[in-house]
Amino acid sequence: MLTESQRERIEIVLVAPRNPLNIGAVARAMANFGFSHLAVVSPYIPHWREARSAVGAPELLRSAREVATLADAVTDRTLVIGTGTLTHHKPEQPVISLPALAPVVAHELDRDGRIALVFGPEKHGLTRKDLSWCQAFVEIPTDVRQPSMNLGQAAAVCLYELATRVSTSDTETERARNAPPLQQDVTDPTVSGDLDILAALVDEVMVAANYSPLAMREANRHTVRLLLRRLKLHAADQRQILGLFRRILWRLRRSPKRNVTNRLF
Amino acid sequence: MLTESQRERIEIVLVAPRNPLNIGAVARAMANFGFSHLAVVSPYIPHWREARSAVGAPELLRSAREVATLADAVTDRTLVIGTGTLTHHKPEQPVISLPALAPVVAHELDRDGRIALVFGPEKHGLTRKDLSWCQAFVEIPTDVRQPSMNLGQAAAVCLYELATRVSTSDTETERARNAPPLQQDVTDPTVSGDLDILAALVDEVMVAANYSPLAMREANRHTVRLLLRRLKLHAADQRQILGLFRRILWRLRRSPKRNVTNRLF
DSSP string of chain B, one letter each residue: ---HHHHTTEEEEEES---HHHHHHHHHHHHHTT--EEEEES--HHHHHHHHTSTT--HHHHT-EEES-HHHHTTT-SEEEEEE---SS--SSPEEEGGG-HHHHHHHHHTT--EEEEE--TTT-S-HHHHTT-SEEEEP---TTS-PPPHHHHHHHHHHHHHHH---TTT-HHHHHH---SS---SSBPPHHHHHHHHHHHHHHHHHTT-S-GGGHHHHHHHHHHHHHHS--BHHHHHHHHHHHHHHHHHHHH-TTS-HHHHT-
> Who among A32, A143, A164 is closest to B146 (CB)?
A32
Residue A263 CA to its chain's centroid (Å): 37
> What's the alpha-carbon Rg for chain B, to the nearest Å?
20
Look up residue A98 and give its DSSP letter: G
**Contact check, Cβ <8 Å, A153/B149:** no
Look up residue A169 and give its DSSP letter: T
pLDDT for position A35: 97
Average pLDDT of the residues in B199-212 = 84
List, in order, residues 6 or more apart from B154 with CB less than 8 Å away: A156, B83, B84, B85, B119, B140
Interface of B with A in 115-174 (CB under 8 A): 140-143, 145-150, 152-154, 156-157, 160-161, 163-165
Please list every residue in chain A whose beta carbon sits closer than 8 Å to the beta carbon of residue B138.
none
Interface of A with B in 204-243 (CB under 8 A): none
Please list every residue in chain B whose beta carbon sits closer than 8 Å to the beta carbon of residue A146.
28, 31-32, 58
Amino acid residing at A103: P
Query: Using 50, 70 and 90 to split pLDDT, how confident is the model at B61?
Result: very high
pLDDT for position A78: 92
Per the DSSP assignment, residues forming a β-bridge with A80 are A116
H/E stretch holding A245: helix A235-254
Residue A22 CA to its chain's centroid (Å): 20
pLDDT for position B173: 45
3-state secondary structure of A241: helix
**Contact check, Cβ <8 Å, A141/B163:** yes
pLDDT for position A255: 61
Task: Give, in words, the CATH class of B4-178.
Answer: alpha beta
d(CA A211, CA A206): 5
**Contact check, Cβ <8 Å, B152/A157:** no
> What are phi and psi for residue B233, nearest 5 degrees?
-75, 140
pLDDT for position B19: 93
Q: Write down the pTM of the prediction.
A: 0.84
Average pLDDT of the residues in B13-30 = 96
CB B161 within 8 A of CB B99: yes
3-state secondary structure of A172: coil
Q: CA of B28, closest CA in chain A: separation in Å? A: 8
Higher-scoring residue by pLDDT: B218, A81: A81
What are the extents of the domains in chain B?
A: 4-178, 192-263
**Contact check, Cβ <8 Å, A29/B153:** yes
d(CA A183, CA A14): 24
**pLDDT, tens digit only, all 265 positions of chain A:** 899 999 999 999 999 999 999 999 999 999 999 999 999 999 999 999 999 988 888 899 999 999 999 999 999 999 999 999 876 678 888 999 999 999 999 999 998 899 999 999 998 999 999 999 999 999 999 999 999 999 999 999 999 999 999 987 765 444 444 444 444 445 677 889 999 999 999 888 888 888 777 888 888 888 888 888 877 777 888 888 888 888 888 888 876 554 444 433 3
B195 reaches A (C-beta below 8 A): no
Q: Is residue B194 scored above 60 in pLDDT?
A: yes
3-state secondary structure of A221: helix
